[in-house]
Amino acid sequence: MKGIKQTLRFVFLVAVASLSGCMKSDDGKIQLRYMAWGNPEQLELEERMCAKFNERQDRVHVRFFKVPSSAYGNKMLVMLASHTAPDIMRVDHYGFPSLVKKDYFYALDDLIKEDKGFSLDDFFKSAIDEGRYNGKLYGLNVLFGGPLIYYNKTLVKNAGLEDPYDLFRQGKWTWDAFREYAIKMTKKGSHGRYSQFGASIPYMPITYATVQVRGGQIMDPSQTRVMLSNESGTETWKFWYELRHKYHAAPTPSQSANSVFSFESGKLGMYFDFMGMTPRYRQVIKSFDWDVVPMPCVPGSKYIVKGNQLSMYAETKHPKEAWEFMKFLTSPEIEKQLAIDLRRTFPSRKSIAYSKEYLKSDIAPRHIDSFLYTIEHGVPFPITSRWNDWVGEYNSGLDNLMSGNSSDVKGAAQEAKKRADLALSTREGL
């Protein structure tokens, strides 16, 4: 009896306490929420940017809202669809086309027109084009860039190889050279186990980019059919299959489980990723030298570029204030600070990207022009609202090949294409 009453009282108190905890002390400022994801380093930076913005504002307060990366896309969709989305959010471009179609984002054109001090001219055109839909602009591009190769300079030197970047400058950085480097940097330790791998197979969809730089295509121009299994595509899958299962120069999924051969561990020679990894690597890599080099690219082919969209929720109550914050995050001042002072990201603004201060770096990565080169010779990823529908299907078709359970490259490529085409030909939503 007594026990029950006491428990009830306790529950009541907890409930009251938690409810009152939800009610923020209202200092009369307009509260905005900004949502983004990233590794711990990126998140810390975003937090600092918010703080900086808040310092200068006496009317507006921005609160930073973190969601774990793996659930980010799903959670964002739920929030957008259930009227609880933050005012401003960073949207990975993979998901942008399918969301913008549903009118979840605020068209920025009028805000830009009214804002005399703002111009889109300084931004990379391909970056801005990504945020357009039906002739209107729904996102300001941030963290723009293309995938390239991070390499462990120390391992390259130990293997007695020339620096890949020098090779690239001499025009000798080919996929054959890449393979040779990968093989030569692979080492076995005691017990016959591999202690070091020359390269890791890029994660999807960067592998798609490797199809393109080897002369292939990802989709046909109408963006309705997958071209990844054409000749160059199949050649590429063969290349990766052999690198892993014939030359054993790249770790299998089980060998690389639990990030044993991550780039930062120092046990991996070459690693593919976007430019956003630099801050993390700069912070955690202490025991070796590293740098970046563009992927090998056959003449006439293009790199792939992709960004994130900084977008405003269509249902925000404070579009003007939210715009102020978006403008702040993409302002020359912040871009300069991020790209030049902190050497964090690749800038979306040309004035910064081409500035001498940016291109000359005293700390790794020193070959900043690799970023620029990739963007200058890049075309956007062919991402449509069906992207997520077919990519998973295509990849699953390659699973058995890539895990080494099958060696039939052609069969796998055809199977993958069949699955992806089927997914694309199905009406959306089924």
Partner 1 sequence: MKKREALWGWILISPWIIGFLCFTAGPMLTSLYLSFHTYDLHSMEFVGAANYQRLFFVDRIFWKSLQVTMTYAVLSVPLGIAASLALAVLLNQKVGGLKLFRTLFYLPSIVPGVASALLWQWLLNTDNGALNQVVEWVGLPPVDWLQNEKFTIYAFVLMSLWGAGGMRMVIFLAGLQGISDNYHEAAMLDGAGAWRRFRSVTLPLLSPVMFFNVVMGVIGSFQVFTSAYVMTGGGPNNATRFYALYLFTTAFEQFKLGKASAMAWVLFIILLALTGIQFAAGKRWVHYEGASR
Partner 2 sequence: MRLTKALVLMLLIGFSIAFATPLLWTVSAAVKSPQEFAIAPERMIPQHIEWGNFPKAWTVLPFSTFVLNTLFLTVVCTVGTVLSSSLVAYGFSRFRFKGKDLVFGLMLATMMLPHQVTMIPNFMIWRALHAIDTFYPLTIPAFFSSALFVFLLRQFFMSVPRELDEAAMLDGAGYIRIWWQILMPLAVPAITTVAVFSFIGNWDSFEAPLIYLNSPEKYTVAVGLRMFQDTFGGNFELVMAASLIHILPTIIIFFCAQRYFLKGIAMSGMGGR
Encode 76-92 in three state secondary structure. HHHHHHCCCCCCEEEEE
Q: Are strands 303-312 and 132-133 parallel, antiparallel or unpaired?
A: unpaired
Q: Are strands 148-152 and 303-312 parallel, antiparallel or unpaired?
A: unpaired
Check whether the bond before 365 is cis (ω within 30° of 0).
yes
CA atoms of 304 and 146, how far apart (whole Å):
6
Rule CB under 8 A: choose which of 40, 189, 253, 411 binds partner 1: 253
User: Using CB distances below 5 to 8 A depending on partner kind, what does residue 5 bind out of partner 2, partner 1, none?
Assistant: none
User: Using CB distances below 5 to 8 A depending on partner kind, what does residue 160 bind out of partner 2, partner 1, none?
Assistant: none
User: Using CB distances below 5 to 8 A depending on partner kind, what does residue 40 bind out of partner 2, partner 1, none?
Assistant: partner 2
Give me the DSSP letters along 63-77.
EEEE--HHHHHHHHH
Q: Cβ closer to partner 1: 16 or 78? A: 78
User: Using CB distances below 5 to 8 A depending on partner kind, what does residue 6 bind out of partner 1, partner 2, none?
Assistant: none
CA atoms of 104 and 142, how far apart (whole Å):
19
Is position 422 an interface residue for partner 1 (rule: CB under 8 A)? yes
Paired tokens of 140 = 């300001």
In angstroms, what is the minimal distance from the CB of 65 to partner 2? 7
Rule CB under 8 A: choose which of 81, 120, 298, 342 binds partner 1: 81
In angstroms, what is the minimal distance from the CB of 101 to partner 1? 9
Rule CB under 8 A: choose which of 7, 69, 84, 254 binds partner 1: 254
Q: How many residues does the chain have?
A: 430
In angstroms, what is the minimal distance from the CB of 103 to partner 1? 8
Q: Cβ closer to partner 1: 203 or 354? A: 203
Question: Total residues at the site for partner 1 (CB under 8 A)?
Answer: 27
The residue whose two tokens read 């994130």 is 308
Q: Choose one: 50-58, 77-85, 321-329, 371-379; the region binding partner 1 (CB under 8 A).
A: 77-85
Encode 223-250: b = buried (16+ Cβ within 10 Å), e = exposed: eeebbbbbebbbbbbbbbbbbbeeebbb
Check whether the bond before 164 is cis (ω within 30° of 0).
no
3-state class percentages of the chain: helix first, strand second, coil last, to nearest 5? 45, 15, 35
User: Using CB distances below 5 to 8 A depending on partner kind, what does residue 8 bind out of partner 1, partner 2, none?
Assistant: partner 2
Torsion angle of C-alpha atoms 309, 315, 320, 323, degrees rounded to 10? -10
Q: Are strands 60-66 and 290-293 parallel, antiparallel or unpaired?
A: unpaired
Is position 426 an interface residue for partner 1 (rule: CB under 8 A)? yes
The answer to whether the beta carbons of residues 123 and 310 sit under 8 Å apart is no
Q: Choose one: 35-43, 78-86, 326-334, 342-350; the region binding partner 1 (CB under 8 A).
A: 78-86
Is position 54 an interface residue for partner 1 (rule: CB under 8 A)? no
The answer to whether the beta carbons of residues 140 and 108 sit under 8 Å apart is yes
**Interface contacts to partner 2, rule CB under 8 A:** 1, 3-4, 7-8, 10-11, 14-15, 18, 39-40, 65-71, 75, 78-79, 81-84, 258-259, 262
CA atoms of 329 and 301, how far apart (whole Å):
33
Written as one letter, the residue type at 293 is: V
Q: Cβ closer to partner 1: 14 or 257? A: 257
User: Using CB distances below 5 to 8 A depending on partner kind, what does residue 327 bind out of partner 2, partner 1, none?
Assistant: none
Q: Cβ closer to partner 2: 81 or 422? A: 81
The residue whose two tokens read 């998140």 is 43
In angstroms, what is the minimal distance from the CB of 73 to partner 1? 8
Other CB atoms within 10 Å distance of the CB of residue 34: 22
* Distance from the first to the final alpha carbon of the chain: 55
Rule CB under 8 A: choose which of 258, 259, 287, 363 binds partner 1: 258
Residues 6+ positions from 264 with CB-CB distance below 8 Å: 280, 281, 284, 285
Is position 19 an interface residue for partner 1 (rule: CB under 8 A)? no
Is position 51 an interface residue for partner 1 (rule: CB under 8 A)? no
User: Using CB distances below 5 to 8 A depending on partner kind, what does residue 18 bind out of partner 1, partner 2, none?
Assistant: partner 2
Paired tokens of 78 = 């739920």
User: Using CB distances below 5 to 8 A depending on partner kind, what does residue 254 bind out of partner 1, partner 2, none?
Assistant: partner 1
User: Using CB distances below 5 to 8 A depending on partner kind, what does residue 16 bind out of partner 2, partner 1, none?
Assistant: none
Is position 267 an interface residue for partner 1 (rule: CB under 8 A)? no
Q: Cβ closer to partner 2: 68 or 299? A: 68
**Which spans of this chain sit near partner 1 (rule: CB under 8 A)?**
74, 77-78, 81-82, 102, 193, 252-255, 257-258, 260, 388, 396, 399-400, 403, 405, 419, 422, 426-430
